Amino acid sequence: MNRGRKVTGGKYHKQKKKRLYEKKNPERHVILGEIKLKNMKVRGGNKKQILLRTNIANISSGKEVRKAEIKNVLETPQNRFFARQNILMKGAIIETSLGKAKITNRPSQESCVNAVLIEEKNK
């Protein structure tokens, strides 16, 4: 059966249009690269900073938090193709100047990348 059609062949019509608050925002992916931010208006007249590109992560190891440069995205649990495109998202394992780390926040929502150190580089 054709989608959006009744058994008799008639069309189904929408009850109403979607309201602005019901509409989805376009999907944003944070990509590895030079830092780029965007200001966005959100509900209630508030403003939100959106992260588009970054190459710096806040990495915690124990009680200490340090900034480190992101070199590469090794793997992403949501989609293996995201790792190939160097897209940063929650749960992704990244290679940094301090070693391997796992991203613990949602960079597209919070305008920073927070990660936990998995493996330290021996120096």
Cα separation values, 37 from 65, 83, 84, 115, Å: 23, 21, 22, 19
**pLDDT at res. 9:** 87
**pLDDT at res. 75:** 95
Which pLDDT tens digit goes with each residue over 64-93?
999 999 999 999 999 989 999 999 999 999
Classify domain 25-120 by CATH architecture: Roll (3.10)
Q: How far apart are CA 54 and CA 88, in angstroms?
A: 9
Q: Are strands 56-61 and 114-120 parallel, antiparallel or unpaired?
A: parallel
Domain regions of the chain by residue span: 25-120
Mean pLDDT of the region 1-22: 84
* pTM over the 0.95 mark: no
